[in-house]
Chains A and B, each alone.
Chain A
C-alpha cells in the first residue's frame, strides 16, 4: 500500500522550466528501456527458435538462420518419445508443488513467531541466518551427504522432499516475517476485543491480508525447487527420481548433443517460472524488498 501511495505521489511532476530537456531525457529513457527488453528477450528468442528448427538447419555450419526455414515440433516430440520426458516433468512438478505448499504453511507459523514475539535467542537466530548465507552451500552438502547416507535417505523421494523443504524454510521465514511486520498488531487486537480467539484471529483477519505474502513465498519456493539442479544431482543417482533439469544436463554430456531437443527441454523448463512470475511479479518484488529498504 505504501508503495502504491508513493508511486502516485511521484507521478506529480512540476512542469516549469524544463520542457525541452524533459523531452530529451524521456527519449533517452525510452531507448534505455528498449535496450533492457532486448537484452532479456534475445537469448530466450534464440533458444525458442532453435527448438523449432529442424536438425539439418541447426547444424548448418555455413549459415545461421534467425528465423526458422521450417517450423517443426520434431524436437518436442523426440523429447517425450525418446527420453520419457513426461516422467521427469511429473517429478519436477510434484517436488515443486508439494514443497511450495508445505513451505507456505510452515513459514506462516515461523514467520508469525519471528514477527510477533520478542524472545531470547531471536537475534542469535537472525545472526546465524546471516552467517548461513555466507557459507558456500557446497560445503554444507558434504556433511549432509554423509548424514543422509547413514540415514539411508540417498536416492529416496523422502530425502529429496526433506532437503527441498528445509532448504527453503529459512529464507521464506524471513520473507514471511516481513509481511507480518506490515500488518498492524492492532488488527489482531481488535479481533480479540471482538471476541475472536487466536486461531480465529489468524484465519479470519490475518490470512486475507497476508495473501500477497503467501503468494510471494509460494512463488519463491516453487521456482527454487523447479529451478534446482544441484540438490538432485548430489543426492540422487536413480533416474526415475530425476527432475527435468537433471535429465537435460545429463544429455549435454553425450557425444552427439542434439541442441534442438535440449532447447525444447529448456523452453519447457522456463515456461512455468515465467508464467507464474508474470502473474505475481508485483508480490514477489515486494516480498524480496520487504525489510531490505529502510523507510
Chain B
C-alpha cells in the first residue's frame, strides 16, 4: 500500500522535473557560463585586477569606471564604433535586401545559385579579414591596382598605414561577410507574403516602387526590425575583423569599443578596467535595445 503511494509520488516528481532534465545542458550554459561569469565581471570591475600582479588584487571602488571615462581616446573610439555600425549594417541591409528581392521568384538552378551567393555566410571572419588585408595591401594589392587602372587614383594608397583610411578595408570586409544573413532572412520573409497580394497590387496598377514601399516593406516589417536589431548588436560586438586587418592601428585610429576592450584586457592585461568599460557599454547597449523594442512594439515581431 505504502510503496505504491511512494511510487506514485516518485513518478509525479519525475514528471515535474522531466522538462528540466531535458533542458539541463541549456540551463547549465545559461547560468554557469553566462549569469555567473557576468556576476564575476561586475566584481572584477570594482577591483584592481591586473593579470600581471595577481597578488595585489583588491577592491578600489569606482576607480576603474572613472578612469575608463577619463580615457582621452574614449570619444574617438565611441564615434568609430557608431560609424562602423551605421555604415556596415546600413550597406549590409541594402545589399542583402537587393539580393533577397532578386531571389524572390524561383528560377531554374536557384538552389545552386544560392549555394554560391551565400558562400561568405559560411566563411570565417579570419579568412575574410586575411583576404581583404591582402587585397588592400599598399604595394602589391589588387585594390590599388584596380583604382589606378580605372584612373580613380594616380598613385598607390597605403590603406593600412594611414589613419582614417585603415578602417576602410574593415568596412568592406564586414559588409562582404554579413549581407548574406540579411538576404537569407529577408528572402524567407518575402516568401511568406502570399502571391495573391502581389497580384492584386499589380492588377491595381501599382508600380515597382509603390509595391516595394506599400506592400513588401510593411509586410516584412516585423522580421526586418528583428534582424536589424540583432545585426546592430552583433556588429557592435564583433572585433575579429579589426583584430585581423588593422589590429586597431595605426595608433589606435581604427579601434572600436569592442576591439579596444580586447586590447585593454589581453594586451595590457588590465582585467579590472576592461570589465568596467565593457559593463558600461553593455548596459548602454541593453538600454538602447530595450527602447528600440518598446518603440517598434518588438513583442509583436514573433518569437525570436
Contact = CB atoms under 8 A, between A and B. Distances in A.
A274 B125 CA distance: 14
Interface string B96-135: 0011001101100001011111111111111110111111
Given A7-B106, A9-B195, A281-B111, A138 B223 contact: no
B60 interface: no
Contacts of A18: 202
B140 interface: yes
B282 A44 contact: no
Contacts of A285: 114, 118, 184, 188
B210 to A, nearest CB: 14
A274 B127 CA distance: 12
Interface stretch (B5-13, B66-74, B82-90, B229-237): B229-237
Contact of A292 (B27, B223, B239): B223
Contacts of A140: 33-34, 37-38, 41
Contacts of B118: 277, 281, 285
A140 B285 CA distance: 15
A36 B117 contact: yes
Given A36-B99, A109-B22, A117-B22, A277 B121 contact: yes
A278 B25 CA distance: 30
B233 A134 contact: yes
Contact of B116 (A40, A58, A119): A40
A171 to B, nearest CB: 10
Interface in A259-295: 259, 262-263, 266, 269-270, 273-274, 276-278, 281-282, 285, 288-289, 291-295
B281 A143 contact: no
B48 to A, nearest CB: 14
Interface residues of A, number: 99
Contact of A112 (B22, B41, B262, B279): B22
B281 A270 contact: no
A217 interface: no
A44 B26 contact: no
Interface in B129-182: 130-135, 137, 139-142, 145, 176, 181
Interface string B48-63: 0000000000000000
Interface of B is mostly: helix
Interface string A1-31: 0010011011111100010000001000100
Contacts of B122: 223, 273-274, 276-277
Given A134-B289, A169-B29, A266 B302 contact: no
Given A46-B131, A138-B239, A142-B44, A292 B119 contact: no
A64 B142 contact: yes
Contacts of B119: 40, 44, 274, 277
Interface string A128-166: 111111111111111111110000000000000000001
B185 A142 contact: no
A117 B19 contact: yes
Interface string B286-300: 100100000000000
B221 to A, nearest CB: 11
Interface string B224-260: 0011001001101101100110000000000000100
A113 B111 CA distance: 33
Interface of A is mostly: helix
Q: Most chain-B Cβ atoms within 10 A of its Cβ — which of A58, A130, A138?
A: A138
Interface residues of B, number: 102
Given A40-B117, A59-B140, A228 B124 contact: yes
B271 interface: yes
B23 interface: yes
A281 B114 contact: yes
Contacts of A145: 271
B219 to A, nearest CB: 11
A46 B188 CA distance: 32
Interface in A233-260: 234, 245, 248-249, 252, 259
Contacts of B237: 134-138
A113 B23 contact: yes
Contacts of B244: 229, 249, 252
Contacts of B278: 136, 138-139, 142
Contact of B35 (A61, A128, A133, A273): A128
Interface string A85-115: 0000000000000000000001101101110
Given A10-B105, A138-B262, A117 B40 contact: no
Nearest to B286: A134
B123 A146 contact: no
A175 to B, nearest CB: 12
Nearest 7 A-B pairs (CB), nearest first? A113-B22, A227-B124, A117-B19, A143-B40, A139-B278, A289-B188, A277-B122
14 contacts: A43-B176, A113-B22, A135-B34, A139-B278, A140-B38, A166-B28, A166-B29, A173-B23, A229-B124, A263-B134, A274-B123, A281-B111, A292-B302, A294-B192
